[in-house]
Chains A and B, each alone.
Chain A
Amino acid sequence: MAEVVYADASRVYPGAHAVRAVDRLDLTVSDGEFLVLVGPSGSGKSTALRMCAGLEDVDEGAIRIGEREVTDLPPKDRDIAMVFQSYALYPHMTVADNMAFALRLRKMSKEDVSTRVKEAAAMLDLTKYLDRKPKALSGGQRQRVAMGRAIVREPSVFLMDEPLSNLDAKLRVETRANIAELQQRLGTTTIYVTHDQVEAMTMGDRVAVLKDGVLQQCASPRELYDRPANVFVAGFIGSPAMNLGNHRLTDEGVTLGGLAVPLARSALDAADGLSEITFGVRPEALDLVSDGGFTLSVRLVEELGADAYVHGELESGEKMVVRVDGRTPPRLGDRVRVGLRDTSEVHLFHPETGLRIP
């Protein structure tokens, strides 16, 4: 058990155009916390994880695990265990040997190794497969062996690099719940990398959003969803994405396709001096109305059963998605009127810096 601290840690790939894959990451993962690193491809989330594992150099700053500074320690001295995207099992060893490998290298006694492996196997429902080689296992079982290999070590930190991305959808949902439950039971500090925001939102105590190597926001899933710190986080978290667009700012608020949306005094004060503002509203904060609102031409309707997502265009050409009741969705080509459910559910961002207002 330990906390993990990234103290302005950077990874810079040298070259004519040096790439800052991770740029001054300042992040503390508390003891026992489940932290999810999320971001699009190339955001540096995997690099950040591998820096903690010791598989990538830390070019600037430092990384601490517990009381120890580990910045320059090799992976084996960091007391971490890692689960890889490809599982990275040893193909020539049985499941039991795969799990025992690290313990044997630590010169642990045979009985202790055997006890720990059996415990972990029981926990992961792998007891039947202990004598099998990885190639005789299904994808889900291999994934569990990879988990088992990490668990038997009883490390201070688990590092997981998209461990579910090779599973099919159904198994992924199941395993997602299992991992979250297991982590709670073991109480081991965990850093989990994913590009799947459902995983991020459902598993993490906190979620750190990265873009181009820079930390955008680190907060609880709820906070991230309700108060995104900038335009990027607003657009990245939530599916379908938040409707975002630049609109003219008046004394009262903004005008959206002919609909005047009044803004809170505090927001207007914060936006003082701006003539334009980035205005964001989530699809579920909009609804069809019988009168008032603005007009939307329906271009696509996605029916999901309980809900339906209506993709349409404003008269200005701006695209917008609205969540409506699944039983009575409008039809393609319809012109519908859309209004805000609640004017407090709007998000405002600075049009240039992209930062949240207020």
Chain B
Amino acid sequence: MTTVDTRPPPVTRKRKRRIGSISLSALTWVIAILFVFPLIWMVLTSFKQEADAYTDPPKLVFGPTLDQFAGVIDRGFLPYLANSAGVTAMVTLIVLIFAIPAAYALSIAPVKGTTNALGFFLSTKMLPVVAAIIPLYVISQNMKLLDNVWALVILYTSMNLPLAIWMMRSFFLEVPTEMMEAARVDGANLPTLLYKIILPVVAPGIAATALICVIFSWTEFFYAVNLTAARAGTVPVFLVGFITSEGLYWAQLSAAALLASLPVMIVGWIAQNHLVRGLSMGAVK
């Protein structure tokens, strides 16, 4: 009996696969550019003169200028930047200080009621932020915390903490039990176990949690705009100041927006280097 090979010759199949992979990468590029386009637009516009920013069709060739950045700083950007930086740093630090031990307790050394505690933490995120604004405003007023960065530090900390605990807990759950037992047999007491073994292993998780915290605190707008004014305002509040009744200053707004996003991008880039896949790669098996 003769068998007929009905499959296409291997060369054709290979070529088909190649075409498939090329068109897939092309599609990926298109989507990526669509996503990055607003950012590119923002960067370009921020280096334009206000007059160039309005042309139709838009000018792609223009004399770049730093005037807009100077203008942004003249309008009092730096105090807002300082507020944002201070609040973000404080919040991230406090959140990590509380979240790491809490998550450790809820994952590695759980007790009765652990699931209830976890549920409680999550439930605090269920209330829409708008629903709490009036009581919060009144409380802040009574505590003399209106237009005060500490109000934001307290609020952002309590908003970030549940998320951070849940995140850190999932990282702690990935720490192999046998590795911790090995450390105990090797002679480690609890502090040594924590500092020399567990924390280094969950370091990528800490970086990820810190990044989430930074992004949230840096970009939070609702509470900032309602509870602060000129003295304690953060960068998002400053950006809103550009939307005035006299019209929009596109170039200057772009410059301000670029300055506002740069710190987060830098922090994100730094954190990314620590976000190595597979926390405990190589520990077990």
Bound state CA distance, A85 and B283, in angstroms?
11
Bound state CA distance, A106 and B189, in angstroms?
12
Judging by beta carbons under 8 Å apart, are A106 and B282 in contact? Answer: no
Judging by beta carbons under 8 Å apart, are A102 and B186 in contact? Answer: yes
Judging by beta carbons under 8 Å apart, are B179 and A90 in contact? Answer: yes
Bound state CA distance, A290 and B105, in angstroms?
72
Bound state CA distance, A184 and B278, in angstroms?
38
Judging by beta carbons under 8 Å apart, are B181 and A55 in contact? Answer: yes
Bound state CA distance, A54 and B182, in angstroms?
11
Within 8 A of B (CB), among A82-106: 82, 84-92, 101-102, 105-106
Chain B: minimal CB distance from A62 (Å): 20
- The answer, among A74, A84, A133, for a CB contact under 8 Å with B178, is A84
**Interface residue? A139 (CB, 8 A):** yes
Q: Mark B184-226, 1 if CB is under 8 A from A, else 0.
A: 1111110010001100110100000000000000000000000
> Which residues on A sit within 8 Å (CB–CB) of B184?
54-55, 74-76
Judging by beta carbons under 8 Å apart, are A76 and B178 in contact? Answer: no
Bound state CA distance, A295 and B144, in angstroms?
99
- The answer, among B185, B196, B201, B280, for a CB contact under 8 Å with A75, is B185
Judging by beta carbons under 8 Å apart, are A91 and B281 in contact? Answer: yes
> Which residues on A sit within 8 Å (CB–CB) of B280?
91
Judging by beta carbons under 8 Å apart, are B187 and A142 in contact? Answer: no
> Which residues on B sit within 8 Å (CB–CB) of A80?
185
> Which residues on B sit within 8 Å (CB–CB) of A82?
181-182, 185
Bound state CA distance, A101 and B179, in angstroms?
13
**Interface residue? A202 (CB, 8 A):** no
Bound state CA distance, A58 and B185, in angstroms?
17
> Which residues on B sit within 8 Å (CB–CB) of A90?
179, 182-183, 197, 201, 283
> Which residues on A sit within 8 Å (CB–CB) of B182?
82, 84, 88-90, 149
Chain A: minimal CB distance from B109 (Å): 15
Chain B: minimal CB distance from A177 (Å): 22
Judging by beta carbons under 8 Å apart, are A86 and B185 in contact? Answer: no
Bound state CA distance, A75 and B182, in angstroms?
10
Judging by beta carbons under 8 Å apart, are A149 and B186 in contact? Answer: yes
**Interface residue? B176 (CB, 8 A):** yes
> Which residues on B sit within 8 Å (CB–CB) of A136?
282
- The answer, among B185, B203, B279, B282, for a CB contact under 8 Å with A142, is B282
Chain A: minimal CB distance from B79 (Å): 41
**Interface residue? A134 (CB, 8 A):** yes
Bound state CA distance, A15 and B216, in angstroms?
45
Within 8 A of A (CB), among B220-259: none
> Which residues on B sit within 8 Å (CB–CB) of A149?
182, 186
**Interface residue? B285 (CB, 8 A):** yes
**Interface residue? A48 (CB, 8 A):** no
Chain B: minimal CB distance from A138 (Å): 11
Judging by beta carbons under 8 Å apart, are A84 and B181 in contact? Answer: yes
**Interface residue? A166 (CB, 8 A):** yes
**Interface residue? A53 (CB, 8 A):** yes
Most buried by B among A53, A84, A134: A84
Chain A: minimal CB distance from B254 (Å): 43
Chain B: minimal CB distance from A269 (Å): 52
Find the B residue at minimum CB distance from A50.
B181
- The answer, among A53, A85, A166, for a CB contact under 8 Å with B185, is A53
Judging by beta carbons under 8 Å apart, are B178 and A135 in contact? Answer: no
Judging by beta carbons under 8 Å apart, are B178 and A88 in contact? Answer: yes
**Interface residue? A122 (CB, 8 A):** no
Bound state CA distance, A43 and B284, in angstroms?
24
Bound state CA distance, A135 and B197, in angstroms?
16
Chain A: minimal CB distance from B201 (Å): 6
> Which residues on A sit within 8 Å (CB–CB) of B196?
101
**Interface residue? A286 (CB, 8 A):** no
Bound state CA distance, A113 and B176, in angstroms?
26
> Which residues on A sit within 8 Å (CB–CB) of B284?
86-89
Q: Mark A42-53, 1 if CB is under 8 A from B, else 0.
A: 000000000001
Judging by beta carbons under 8 Å apart, are A135 and B281 in contact? Answer: yes
Given A105-B187, A105-B192: A92 and B201 within 8 A (CB)?
yes
Judging by beta carbons under 8 Å apart, are A76 and B185 in contact? Answer: yes
Within 8 A of A (CB), among B42-65: none
Given contacts A75-B184, A89-B282, A136-B282, 15 further A-B contacts (CB under 8 A): A55-B181, A76-B188, A85-B178, A86-B176, A86-B284, A88-B176, A88-B283, A91-B201, A91-B281, A92-B201, A101-B188, A105-B188, A106-B187, A133-B282, A142-B282
Query: Which B residues contact A (CB, under 8 angstroms)?
Result: 176, 178-179, 181-189, 192, 196-197, 200-201, 203, 278-285
**A-B residue pairs in contact (CB < 8 Å), sample of 29:** A53-B181, A53-B185, A54-B184, A55-B181, A74-B184, A76-B187, A76-B189, A81-B185, A84-B178, A85-B178, A86-B176, A87-B283, A87-B285, A88-B283, A89-B179, A90-B197, A90-B201, A91-B279, A91-B280, A92-B200, A92-B201, A101-B188, A105-B188, A106-B187, A134-B281, A135-B282, A137-B282, A142-B282, A166-B285
Query: Which A residues contact B (CB, under 8 angstroms)?
Result: 53-55, 74-76, 80-82, 84-92, 101-102, 105-106, 133-137, 139, 142, 149, 153, 166
Q: Which 5 A-B pairs have the closest CB atoms?
A: A135-B282, A134-B282, A86-B284, A102-B186, A88-B178
